């Protein structure tokens, strides 16, 4: 049973436009939601996160929105650049115990973003 779902395996966007990556989750006990970017042959790189008590967090071109009632979050990248082409992972963590599993950091399957010049 997937607790964190990224239903779009891939996304293609034109340079300069907005990229929107989506993520759904099932566990209401998650405290933080994180986004990672991954290039081939490298480890994932932390991008941005949001606490479950907030609905928006912004860092430069990256903004994450959280809709707790829908158990849905999204990452907006604007403007998109060719260097943003990578696989993006959504992750969630429950810090204070979900069935005893404190600190369990769970990932979605990823969305491959391609930004075309």
Those residues whose C-beta lies under 8 Å from the C-beta of residue 78, and which sit 6 or more positions away, are 17, 18, 19, 61, 63
Q: Which stretch binds another protein (CB under 8 A): 15-23, 26-34, 64-72, 77-85?
A: 26-34
Helices (H), the chain: none
Binding string to another protein for residues 44 to 83, with x set by CB under 8 A, is what? xxx--x-x--------------------------------
Q: Is 108 in the site for another protein (CB under 8 A)?
A: yes
User: Judged by CB under 8 A, does residue 29 bind another protein?
Assistant: no
When the beta carbons of 1 and 117 are compared against another protein, the nearer one is 1
Backbone conformation region of residue 25, classed left if phi is above 0, alpha if psi is from -120 to 50, else beta: beta
Q: Which residues bind another protein (CB under 8 A)?
A: 6, 31-32, 34, 36, 41-46, 49, 51, 89, 91, 93, 95, 100-110
């Amino acid at each position: 049973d997937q607790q964190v779902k990224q239903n779009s395996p891939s996304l293609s966007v034109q340079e300069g436009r907005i990229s929107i990556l989506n993520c759904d989750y099932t566990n209401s006990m998650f405290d933080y939601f994180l986004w990672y970017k991954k290039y081939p042959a490298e480890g994932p790189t932390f991008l941005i996160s949001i606490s479950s008590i907030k609905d928006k967090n912004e860092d430069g071109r990256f903004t994450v929105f959280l809709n707790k009632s829908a158990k849905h979050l999204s990452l907006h990248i604007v403007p998109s650049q060719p260097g943003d082409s990578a696989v993006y992972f959504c992750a969630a963590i429950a810090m204070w115990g979900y069935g005893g599993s404190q600190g369990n950091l769970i990932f979605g399957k990823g969305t491959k973003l391609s930004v075309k010049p």
